[in-house]
Structure formats: C-alpha cells, structure tokens
Amino acid sequence: MFFLVVYATTEGQTRKIAQFVADRIKVHNQNVDLLDATDPSIADVKLRSYDGVIIACSLHVGKFQTSIEEFIRERHQTLNGMRTVFLPVSLSAASKDADDIKGLAECTSKFLEDTGWKPGETHNVAGAFRYTQYDFFKRWGMKLIAYQKGVSTDTSKDLELTDWVALTRATDDFVATVEAAGKRTMAQS
C-alpha cells in the first residue's frame, strides 16, 4: 500500500505531527511519502498513485494555511474519490470550553466547504504553544491566552498538548481500513 501525508505548518508542530504519522505508517511496513504543501514538488504529486491520503494543517486566527487550501481546492474531486483523513491542528482541540469547540467546528467546516473536500475521517489534533518560535508580540499574545486557559506561561520552553497516543490509534485504524479495502479489491479482481 502507498500512503501520502501532506502538511502545512507555521511554527513547526504540524510538521512534527505529520512526521510522526508517516513514521507510524512505516511501522506497518507500508510505503509513505511526506510532503510540505509549500514544497514546489507538490505540483507534480500524482494522488491516484496512493491508496490513502492524510492531510494535516494548523489553525491561526481562525484560518488554515493558504498553501494547503490551494492544494486541496485544486484536487478536491480526486480526493473525494479516495480514502482520506483530515487532521486539523489547533489549541481549541485541547479545550473543554464550549465556545472553543464550537469555533473549531465552524472553522473546519468552512474550510471544507471552501475547498470542496469531503474527508473520509476528521480527527482534531491538539497542537502546541511553541513559545520559542514566536516573535515578541506573538509570544506576548500566546502567553496571555495560556494564562486565560490556565496552562504554563513559562515562555522559555514550548508546551506540547498533542495526544500522541490518540494520534497513533487514529493512524493505525486508517492503515487497517486501507489495507482491508485493498484486500477486498484484490479478492474481487
């Protein structure tokens, strides 16, 4: 089986998440390509040569990266005929606040509506406060949000909220689904 993991990141946490997912797919002895949506080689990607596609990108002020939005919009019809997973990365995914959860759902559904993509599965993934990557103003703003949310405001080190166990489970389940579909196709032919 051949898998594609495409990601867009601003401060790096989604790259780490996408790399983790790609490494996990390899544990199952499957082939995987990992691509940054800003890499010029993305224009040559042949989606139909993959059995499963995972797309990860992160939320910043209610929006996902333009690079991934364009990638999906241009290929949404092909993606809609494939086995796909959407991994929206955000801090709202770690929140228990009803407004945060509602806001995340609204941003995600608007993104999917705008791109025309209907992913087979969506798993919200909690990201990180990457204090060490922020400029002065971003660090100040994110420290304020951390204070309001009651999490660490120590900006000397990053604060990771990603649930790696849940991500492992989601990846394993997707690989199993794609493998099962592949076996069914082989049995029918």
Ligand X SMILES: Cc1cc2nc3c(=O)[nH]c(=O)nc-3n(C[C@H](O)[C@H](O)[C@H](O)COP(=O)(O)O)c2cc1C
Q: Choose between 100 and 179: whose C-beta lies nearer to ligand X.
A: 100
CA distance 71 to 43: 8
Q: Choose between 4 and 68: whose C-beta lies nearer to ligand X.
A: 68
Q: Which residue is nearest to ligand X (CB)?
A: 127
Q: Choose between 100 and 172: whose C-beta lies nearer to ligand X.
A: 100
| Closest separation in Å from C-beta 177 to ligand X | 26
CA distance 53 to 146: 33
| Closest separation in Å from C-beta 137 to ligand X | 9
| Closest separation in Å from C-beta 131 to ligand X | 10
Q: Residue numbers of the site for ligand X (CB under 6 A)?
A: 9-14, 58-62, 89-92, 104, 127-128, 130, 138, 142
Q: Choose between 72 and 128: whose C-beta lies nearer to ligand X.
A: 128
Q: How far is CA 98 from the centre of its chain?
A: 22
From the CA atom positions of the chain, what is the Rg in Å?
Answer: 17
CB 25 within 8 A of CB 171: yes
How close are the terminal C-alpha atoms of the chain, in Å?
Answer: 17
CA distance 56 to 50: 17
| Closest separation in Å from C-beta 102 to ligand X | 11
- Tokens, residue 98: 């009803």
Number of H helices, E strands in the chain: 5, 8
Q: Choose between 11 and 51: whose C-beta lies nearer to ligand X.
A: 11
Reduce the secondary structure of 33-50 to three states and give it as a string: EEEECCCHHHHHCCHHHC
| Closest separation in Å from C-beta 69 to ligand X | 14
